[in-house]
């Protein structure tokens, strides 16, 4: 309901009426990315803001799955022998996070690669992220295909992901034989310029129609592939609009 207050100004009596308009989350957009090579660290891009959603892909030559760093939520971790472990995790960023360093729960430096990507809501405040249709595999051979099933999803916005990684000590680049249709890609290279992480993403905002999409990596040594998509819970933001109206007009019902 409108908020009203009466004021006096040189004998004139008026009414201030304020209205709240609601802005709900309807879209997400890509902001920035950063990478780390032969390090267990990655820096959150300086252009990130509180309320953005950041995702990290952690690729290293190690044995066993990993947990997420403190304050981050694990998406999944896939490992094969001591050859490669691929781990993904996300965080709804807070004030002061931009420009800070995130450290993997495994401190190995050699053949350890990190990628961070940041996405921003157009309105409202994101209060939760739901991980949907999660699948993953780490293997010394061909991981085959993965299909991300989003066509039946009614929520908007959606961010779909394929996270792919190549073992650094293989000295090979990723061999993506089936690039996900319509997806953009963010790449982390090793010291020789070979792709060791590729993060594919697609945004479906209000009014968009999502599709089922397949990704595939060929057999080029130890590698991992993960697929999943995000949906969001949020609270709307409000804009306060105020105006001053003649009190007599308000009383006579002639006001807006």
Residue 124 within any structural domain of the chain: yes
Residue 256 within any structural domain of the chain: no
- The C-alpha torsion from 147 through 74 and 79 to 146, rounded to 10°, is 0
Backbone angles phi, psi at 168, to 5 degrees: -60, -40
Same-domain check for residues 60 and 111:
yes
How many structural domains are present in the chain? 2
Full residue range of the structural domain in which residue 88 is found: 25-235
Q: What is the pLDDT of residues 38-57, one digit of tens each?
A: 999 999 999 999 999 999 99
Angle at the Cα of 41 (from 40 to 45), degrees rounded to 5? 155
Residue 91 within any structural domain of the chain: yes
Phi-psi region of 97 (alpha: psi -120 to 50; beta: other; left: phi over 0): alpha
pLDDT at 253 over 70: no
Same-domain check for residues 10 and 55:
no
Same-domain check for residues 11 and 63:
no
Residue 203 within any structural domain of the chain: yes
User: What is the chain's length?
Assistant: 256
Q: Write out the H or E segment, with its range, that includes residue 248.
A: helix 247-251
In this structure, the number of other CB atoms found within 10 A of the CB of residue 19 comes to 14
Separation CA 161–CA 180 (nearest Å) = 9
Same-domain check for residues 101 and 128:
yes
Same-domain check for residues 137 and 226:
yes
Q: In terms of Cα–Cα distance, which of 177, 180, 174 is closest to 220?
A: 174
Q: What is the pLDDT of residues 83-138, one digit of tens each?
A: 899 999 999 999 999 999 999 999 989 899 999 999 999 999 999 999 999 999 99
| pLDDT at position 176 | 80
Separation CA 213–CA 246 (nearest Å) = 59
Sign (positive/negative) of CA torsion 230, 67, 61, 36? positive
Same-domain check for residues 213 and 245:
no
Same-domain check for residues 126 and 17:
no
Q: Write out the H or E segment, with its range, that includes residue 116.
A: strand 112-121
Same-domain check for residues 97 and 17:
no
**What integer best gives the mean pLDDT of the chain?**
86
Same-domain check for residues 13 and 95:
no
Same-domain check for residues 84 and 189:
yes
| Position 187 confidence tier, pLDDT thresholds 50, 70, 90 | very high
Same-domain check for residues 17 and 59:
no
Same-domain check for residues 96 and 11:
no
pTM, rounded to two decimals: 0.85
């Amino acid at each position: 309901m409108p908020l009203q207050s009466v004021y006096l100004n040189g004998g004139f009596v008026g009414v201030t009426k304020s209205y709240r308009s609601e802005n709900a989350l309807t879209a997400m957009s890509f902001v920035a990315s950063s990478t780390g090579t032969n390090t267990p660290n990655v820096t959150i891009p300086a252009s990130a803001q509180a309320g953005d959603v950041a995702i990290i892909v952690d690729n290293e030559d190690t044995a066993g799955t990993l947990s997420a760093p403190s304050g981050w939520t694990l998406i999944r971790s896939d490992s094969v022998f001591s050859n490669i472990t691929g781990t993904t995790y996300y965080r709804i960023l807070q004030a002061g996070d931009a420009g800070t360093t995130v450290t993997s729960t495994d401190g190995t430096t050699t053949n350890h690669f990190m990628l961070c990507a940041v996405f921003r809501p157009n309105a409202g405040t994101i209060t939760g992220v739901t991980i949907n249709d999660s699948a993953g595999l780490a293997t010394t051979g061909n991981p085959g295909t993965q299909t991300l099933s989003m066509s039946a999803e009614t929520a908007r916005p959606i961010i779909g992901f394929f996270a792919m990684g190549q073992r650094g000590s293989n000295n090979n680049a990723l061999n993506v034989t089936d690039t996900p249709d319509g997806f953009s890609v963010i790449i982390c290279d090793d010291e020789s310029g070979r792709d060791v992480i590729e993060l594919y993403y697609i945004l479906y905002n209000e009014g968009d129609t999502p599709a089922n999409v397949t990704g595939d990596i060929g057999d080029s040594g130890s590698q991992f592939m993960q697929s999943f998509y995000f949906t969001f819970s949020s609270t709307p933001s409000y804009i306060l609009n105020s105006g001053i109206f003649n009190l007599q007009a308000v009383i006579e019902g002639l006001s807006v």
